[in-house]
Amino acid sequence: MARLFGTDGVRGVANGSLTAEMTLGLSVAAAHVLAEAGTFEGHRPVAVVGRDPRASGEFLEAAVVAGLASAGVDVLRVGVLPTPAVAYLTGALGADLGVMLSASHNPMPDNGIKFFARGGHKLADELEDRIEQTYHQHAGGQPWDRPTGAGVGRVRDYDEGFDNYVAHLVGVLPNRLDGLSVVIDGAHGAASRVSPEAFARAGAAVTTVGTDPDGLNINDECGSTHLDALRAAVVEHGADLGVAHDGDADRCLAVDADGNEIDGDQILAVLAVGLRDAGGLRKNTVVATVMSNLGFKLAMRREGVELLQTAVGDRYVLEEMKRGGYSLGGEQSGHVIVLDHATTGDGTLTGLMLAARVAATGRPLAELAGVMERLPQVLINVPDVDRSRVDTSAELATAVAEAERELGETGRVLLRPSGTEPLVRVMVEAAETELARSVADRLADVVKRVLG
């Protein structure tokens, strides 16, 4: 039986693999598992439930609310808000769990369900496993123990969530954004109201694109996966910078005044230097994944900032940050975690902090992002191979060692088996694109021959 939970909750085509029945069942299972774990002990449990604007989120939200209330959990329904807003409100309101319905940057037909523990933190793997096991047991026919009468959960809309979250974002900024002109691309998603409002309250002059969600247009040729509209708007309006979110706004990418992309590594570099200068970079360390550009690693070394690298996935970055007590971490994709102010990646907060750095220094974003040089990076997916033998093949290890010697200090090789498909990803960085491509092609051929 395929595992339901991935690295970021349960996702699937809404009304296809992700049904109302499954969503209701998972919500009931989550309530029972958390009750058994002692989370609800001594009080009546409360959950915060939010969603992105996908049309399917309307019926899936109803399923989640019904499931939780039927299990005796009171529900605060916050409506359309970003994933990090649901995480923040779960902590700020002292709720016992949070539930977000979103498929992030996925296309509109998809949707997903993600659970947050008390405090707004992602659920531990073991709790997700228990929720899944409990769901399957009861989907197979085992009856639920259900409360009746006054024991059922009550449901109310919590309209104050929007203002509370925006006030939090603006309140944690080190300085205002007066004098800055910013274009925001909300991906027709969950940040379409939140992000422009937060930037405006912080003092920026705001222009928007991708902020008219109709339930069907989320991530459609806009947002952090499609930057062309943002580039054009920044240049057209002569803005200082542009900020792009994904559908649930846990990511942020940016463009400078000339429309050039500023990726997650560059954003992380700018924020790391800024926090270091302000004394806010705990243990003088930033956490990133092994997919971060080598240019980021070289820049941090040059700036005297320690770098810790984890497996790919923002949950692994967060785990390392919490384990070591670090304040900043993130991914090239734009998941940036500022742990002093958020429990998960927060695209609006990231964009605000990036803009605050521009405002505080009076330097253009392009100049600030110049702290690191993005080295050419070539990624090749090699399909239909035995990914399990990547780390055990002597011939492959020899080929990688030879490639690393050829690239020297300004190059890097990474072979990474996919977690979900029978393929191996070959990533090569080098000082020149031609060299990176040549080495990547050669290694891809070796992978196909040895593992095919």
Q: Is 215 exposed, middle or buried (0-12, 13-18, 19+ CB in 10 A)?
A: middle
Given pLDDT bands bounded at 50, 70 and 90, which one contains residue 1?
Answer: low
Last residue of a domain, one of 325, 349, 369: 369
- In this prediction, residue 384 carries a pLDDT of 87
CA–CA separation, 256 vs 366, rounded Å? 6
Same domain for 352 and 382?
no
- In this prediction, residue 416 carries a pLDDT of 83
- 112 has pLDDT over 80: yes
Cross-strand partners of 100: 50, 114
Q: What is the pLDDT of residues 346-398, one digit of tens each?
A: 999 999 999 999 999 999 999 999 999 998 889 999 998 888 888 888 888 99
Whether 364 is in a domain gets the answer yes
Same domain for 150 and 223?
no
What CATH number is attached to the domain comprising 87?
3.40.120.10
Report CA 172 to chain centroid distance, whole Å. Answer: 20
The response to whether 104 counts as a known ligand-binding position is yes
Last residue of a domain, one of 159, 186, 203: 159
SS3 271: helix
CA–CA separation, 163 vs 299, rounded Å? 38
Same domain for 413 and 434?
yes
Q: In what order do the strands lie in the sheet containing 377-383? A: 377-383, 423-429, 412-417
- In this prediction, residue 451 carries a pLDDT of 87
Whether 435 is in a domain gets the answer yes
Whether 329 is in a domain gets the answer yes
Q: What range defines the domain where residue 87 resides?
A: 10-159
- 330 has pLDDT over 90: yes
> What is the percentage of the chain residues whose pLDDT exceeds 70?
99
Same domain for 44 and 148?
yes
- Overall residue count recorded for the chain in this entry: 452
Same domain for 287 and 300?
yes
- 94 has pLDDT over 70: yes
Supply the mean pLDDT for the chain. 94
Identify whether 104 is a catalytic site residue. Answer: yes
Neighbours of 420 (CB within 10 A): 8
Whether 335 is in a domain gets the answer yes
Cross-strand partners of 115: 99
- In this prediction, residue 291 carries a pLDDT of 87
Tally of domains within the chain: 3
Given pLDDT bands bounded at 50, 70 and 90, which one contains residue 419?
Answer: low
- In this prediction, residue 174 carries a pLDDT of 96
Read out DSSP for 140-182? TTPPP----GGGS--EEE-TTHHHHHHHHHHHT-SS--TT-EE
SS3 319: helix
Let me know: does 226 contact 215? Beta carbons within 8 Å.
no
Whether 174 is in a domain gets the answer yes
267 compared with 374, residue with greater pLDDT: 267
Same domain for 211 and 327?
yes
Q: What is the pLDDT of residues 24-46, one digit of tens each?
A: 999 999 999 999 999 998 899 99
Same domain for 108 and 142?
yes
**What's the whole-number mean pLDDT along residues 91-113?**
96
CA–CA separation, 417 vs 99, rounded Å? 31
Active-site option among 27, 56, 104, 333: 104
Whether 3 is in a domain gets the answer no
- 168 has pLDDT over 90: yes
Q: What is the pLDDT of residues 63-92, one digit of tens each?
A: 999 999 999 999 999 999 999 999 999 999
Same domain for 130 and 186?
no
- In this prediction, residue 210 carries a pLDDT of 98
- 221 has pLDDT over 70: yes
Sorted by sequence, the CB contacts under 8 Å of residue 439 that are 6+ apart come out as: 403, 406, 407, 411, 413, 428, 430
Same domain for 38 and 132?
yes
Whether 432 is in a domain gets the answer yes
CA–CA separation, 105 vs 247, rounded Å? 5
What is the sign, positive or negative, of the torsion defined by CA atoms of 115, 121, 125, 129? negative
CA–CA separation, 367 vs 364, rounded Å? 5
Sorted by sequence, the CB contacts under 8 Å of residue 212 that are 6+ apart come out as: 188, 192
Phi/psi for 94 (5° steps) reads 65, 30
Q: Is 11 exposed, middle or buried (0-12, 13-18, 19+ CB in 10 A)?
A: buried
Same domain for 150 and 241?
no
The response to whether 248 counts as a known ligand-binding position is yes
One-letter identity of residue 180: L
Same domain for 143 and 192?
no
- 421 has pLDDT over 80: no
Same domain for 104 and 183?
no
What CATH number is attached to the domain comprising 410?
3.30.310.50
- In this prediction, residue 387 carries a pLDDT of 82
- 431 has pLDDT over 80: yes
Let me know: does 227 contact 244? Beta carbons within 8 Å.
yes
Last residue of a domain, one of 124, 159, 194: 159
Q: What is the pLDDT of residues 277-319, one digit of tens each?
A: 999 999 999 999 988 998 999 999 999 999 999 988 888 999 9
- 148 has pLDDT over 80: yes
Whether 58 is in a domain gets the answer yes
